[in-house]
Amino acid sequence: MARKLDVINIGAPDARAEPAMPSACETHGCGGADEQLQPLPAFGIVTVDGHEITEEQIAEEMPHHPAPSGEEAWRAAAQALVVRHLLMREAMRRGLAAEEETETGRRATEEEALVKALLDKVVSDAVPTEEECERYYRANRHRFRTPSLFEASHILIEPEEGAGEDGWDAAQAQARTIIAAIGDDQEAFAEAAREFSGCPSGQQNGSLGQIRRGELVQQVQTHIEATQPGTVNPEPVRSKHGWHVIRLNRIIEGQELPFEVAKDKIADLLEARSWTVSAMQVVQSLADEAEIKGVVLDAPPAEEDQRRGTLAA
């Protein structure tokens, strides 16, 4: 049901999670920025053919639509509630019955079941052909690769608590001293990590393991990728936790997946895309027949050879 109910969140921005360090650095390391709570704005009255979507309903919906600003989250939440109302109203007009079902261990609400019953009736899956899958694969080969892995280590030099910028300067100076003393020697790096690192990974010779892009905060990831394999970066890098001495042990380059390995995933992707576009077009046809005030629904995407959803009874 998850895929077929996603359409009720049309217009919701993607949630962006701040990268985190691997488990060895969960308590120190280079964790992400502190979470900031967005204020809950109010942008007037939203109605669908005179039916009001209240400010309270929008406020309750907003946490399901993370966004860079309160205004964007409000808009996405209002859109989702309008879409849900349109689908529920159409399901009831058709006299559809909600079928009880359990998916992923959670029982669907009556509202979810009614929406699913409607979408099952008016939207049909368009199963892609192997030729369509091959065409997508050829145009998007870069998407079908195993991720590159960076095998790296670090030494975290923490500033003295309460020492202000003088403490940060002293920590930087210590990091530079360590870099000068150990050079590129792996054993010397491991010994220094055990002795000086303020990160729990120090007890594992400073090892961060094999890291994918996106798993570290950006300044540390960028510093790792700027380091030659088998060497220590000649400059330390600062994070909110302290100064990091970085060693890149090796890079394991990602490999392109053959079509035979990727084709099932491509077929699922194209089928889901086809279904979503059709469902959005169904929603748009309902919206075109309604008087909606206070928010504008995003237009459904146009897609070549896309089957259009229909509301034929």
Q: Is residue 189 part of a domain?
A: yes
pLDDT per residue as tens digits for the range 129-172: 999 999 999 999 989 999 999 999 999 999 998 888 999 999 99
Reported pTM = 0.54
Q: Are 237 and 155 part of one and the same domain?
A: yes
Q: Mind giving me the DSSP string for 201-232? A: GGGGTTEEEEE-TTSS-HHHHHHHHTSPTTEE
- β 102-103/231-232 pair status: unpaired
pLDDT per residue as tens digits for the range 72-122: 999 999 999 999 999 999 999 999 887 666 555 556 687 888 888 898 888
Q: Does 308 score more than 50 pLDDT?
A: no
Q: What CATH number should be reported for the domain holding residue 210?
A: 3.10.50.40
- Model confidence at 286, in pLDDT bands (50, 70, 90)? very high
Q: Are 266 and 239 part of one and the same domain?
A: no
Neighbours of 215 (CB within 10 A): 17
- The average pLDDT across 13-41 equals 43
Q: Are 247 and 274 part of one and the same domain?
A: no
Contact 7, 283 (CB under 8 A): yes
Contact 10, 283 (CB under 8 A): yes
The 8-class DSSP code of residue 45 comes to: -
Which of 8-12, 38-42, 121-125, 192-196 has the least mean pLDDT?
8-12
Q: Is residue 14 part of a domain?
A: yes
Q: Where are the alpha helices (DSSP H) in the chain?
A: 2-5, 55-61, 70-93, 110-122, 130-139, 164-182, 186-196, 218-225, 259-288
Q: Are 10 and 76 part of one and the same domain?
A: yes
Q: Mean pLDDT score of the chain, rounded to an integer?
A: 83
Q: Are 126 and 263 part of one and the same domain?
A: yes
Q: Distance of CA 38 to CAs 63, 64, 66, 170, Å? A: 10, 13, 9, 36
Q: Count of domains in the chain?
A: 2
**Domain of 156, in residue numbers:** 149-252
List CB contacts of 257: < 8 A, sequence separation 6 or more. Answer: 144, 145, 146
Q: Is residue 309 part of a domain?
A: no
Q: Is residue 207 part of a domain?
A: yes
